Amino acid sequence: MPPRRILYLSGTRADFGLMQSTLQRIHQTPGLQVQVAVTGTHLSPQHGHTVDEVRASGLPIAAEIPVDVLTRTGASMAIAIADVVRGMTALLERERPDALLLLGDRGEMLAGAIAALHVGVPTVHVHGGERSGTVDEPVRHAISKLASYHFVATEGARERLRKMGEAADRIFLTGAPGIDGLAAMDTGTHEQCLQDLGLPPQADFVLALFHPVVQQADDAAAQARTVMQALTALGLPVLWLDPNADAGSREILQALQQDALPAGSRRATHLPRAQFFAAMRHCAVMAGNSSSGIIEAASFGTPVVNIGSRQHMREHGPNVVDVPVEAAAIEQALRAQRSHSRWPCENPWGDGQAGERIAQLLAQLPLGPTVLEKTNSY
């Protein structure tokens, strides 16, 4: 019997980092093969040209689908979805994989799901059923309605998919693949981390990731300045990772160029995954609105200040404090989280074995034409 061929679509450094160990697990599973279709910021030099990291992983690349990630408006994001639909339709027609694997809530994942359903390729959706607010939540739910199977991270996500009318026998609780291996990861010493990151020696520091909220793109610069104001009041050096390519990110970058971060701070376009998690492990506090602060940071007990509405109502552990985009509230939360120090390393998003579960499910689940036939469960 020929191996099942799984195609994964990746559009950013973030989703590939979350899925890399799972993809490699799939690649090593008897009876399975995996390829990666690459698009989005992976192909952008301004975003670190992270397609190089995909190549370095040893996973075969099926296609590169270029899109505009530099205009950074809502309209350009919509056009990029159309471009990925076109590119993925041609790829799926040519390769005819047994399943398309998608993660989360990005526009390129929605494009892949649209193309796959019309071409007749079952879609398997990871991280469906979650609440996050902003444009991400409706996109995530749209992907779920187009998908044949759901590999969810939490029991709450499973229940929400059931309430959306998804059949219970198509929903599987796997946990979040992004936390696989984190508990055992060697993040080095604090001193080595500071040296590798180019931060002042023997310093506490803040790890900051602040992305735009698409519906609030006009406010992105002001929001970024508010975050920077609170960080300046705290006074610790900041390692600030540049935002994604969504509408409003250009304005955040302009704010960063015009306003100064505290002494000893530095910005980075991209960090390799191991270095990013070393920073997460050794920072005094993590601040911003990245899902990594909600999901992966709990595995290190990292104190997190989650700012604004981008992760609205997202499930999280006690290490995360939610605050509005107000300088005084952010500063107060930063000081409280810094004084608390590390939280217990208990992660509500899973046990670090998601990749093995996902690989086994992909090897065993029916993937014939009948799985494309869906009706609401009520």
Contact 207/239 with Cβ under 8 angstroms? yes
Contact 9/108 with Cβ under 8 angstroms? yes
Residue 321 CB coordination number (10 Å): 20
For the chain, what percentages of helix, strand and coil (3-state, to nearest 5) are there? 45, 15, 40
Q: What is the pLDDT of residue 309?
A: 95
CB contact set of 375 (below 8 Å; sequence gap of 6+): none
Convert the pLDDT of each residue in 43-99 to its tens digit: 999 999 999 999 999 999 999 999 999 999 999 999 999 999 999 999 999 999 999
* Residues 294-310, mean pLDDT to the nearest whole number: 96
* Residues 161-171, mean pLDDT to the nearest whole number: 98
pLDDT at 133 over 80: no
Q: What is the pLDDT of residue 118?
A: 97
* Residues 201-207, mean pLDDT to the nearest whole number: 94
**Res. 134 pLDDT band, cuts 50 70 90:** confident
CB contact set of 177 (below 8 Å; sequence gap of 6+): 18, 19, 21, 22, 103, 126, 354, 355, 358
CATH 3.40.50.920 fits 190-340, yes or no: no
pLDDT at 167 over 80: yes
**Res. 132 pLDDT band, cuts 50 70 90:** confident
Q: For residue 203, how far is the Cα from the chain centroid?
A: 28
Convert the pLDDT of each residue in 324-335 to its tens digit: 999 999 999 999
CATH 3.40.50.2000 maps onto the chain at: 4-180+352-372, 190-340
* Residues 319-324, mean pLDDT to the nearest whole number: 98
Q: Rounded distance, CA 26 to CA 5, Å? A: 10
- Buried b or exposed e, range 238-259, using 16+ CB within 10 angstroms: bbbbbbbbbbbbbbbbebbeee
Longest Cα–Cα distance of the chain, Å, equals 63
**Quick one: CATH architecture of 4-180+352-372?**
3-Layer(aba) Sandwich (3.40)
| pLDDT mean across residues, the chain | 96
Convert the pLDDT of each residue in 220-235 to its tens digit: 999 999 999 999 999 9
Residue 200 CB coordination number (10 Å): 14
Contact 351/319 with Cβ under 8 angstroms? no
pLDDT at 341 over 90: no
Contact 22/359 with Cβ under 8 angstroms? yes
**Res. 3 pLDDT band, cuts 50 70 90:** very high
